[in-house]
Amino acid sequence: MILINLLPYREERRKRRKTAFFAGLGAAALVGAGVVVAIFLLLQFLTTEQQARNQYIQNEISRLEAQIKDIAELKTEIDSLKSRQRAVEDLQTDRNTPVQLLNDLARLAPEGVYLTAIRQDSKVVTVNGIAQTNERVSEFLRNVSRSSEWLDKPDLIEVKLANVSANTREARRLLDFSMKVSIKAPPSDAAQGASAPKKS
């Protein structure tokens, strides 16, 4: 028996193609939407991770800034304490300087040299005196230059004749001299020995 299809097969084929086309289009749209959603979620995840890293870095920066501020304050306090310590040490040294200065001058002045005036200006001391001869003045300068722990760089300013009469009968010819010396930093053991109280 022969079967003859009298239905319009071309329209049926067109319909199937249309259905297949729309099905493929829908599947492509779904795949595209899935890819877009996946990319969006990935970007969202990466953004969240980066924000977390940024927040961590910001927290660490804030913590380090607080530590730097504390260190700066500590440095300021240390500098302040050091300046106070230096001031106390300078006061201690300055307190002993006049005594050591007079002691050195009295010890180093040779026989025949008499000191008449001593003036201190900062670290420079001007000494005026009377000597019997030029040799006595030279000896005094050598003693200060070589043997003094507190005085340094003696500089003779002038030497001139001075008539000093002890009484009306006898007139002596003496030399009037003036010199400058610098006060040097004392040795540490001398400073400690001068500042330490003596035990009786």
- Would you call 129 exposed, middle or buried from its count of C-beta atoms within 10 A (0-12, 13-18, 19+)? buried
> How far, in Å, are 62, 92, 182, 196 from residue 193 at the CA level?
52, 12, 22, 5
Of 178, 185, 184, 183, nearest to 124 by C-alpha is: 183
pLDDT value of residue 28: 92
pLDDT value of residue 166: 55
Model pTM greater than 0.85? no
Out of 19-23, 124-128, 191-195, the most confident range is: 19-23
pLDDT in tens, 97-115: 777 777 777 887 888 887 8
pLDDT in tens, 45-57: 999 999 999 999 9
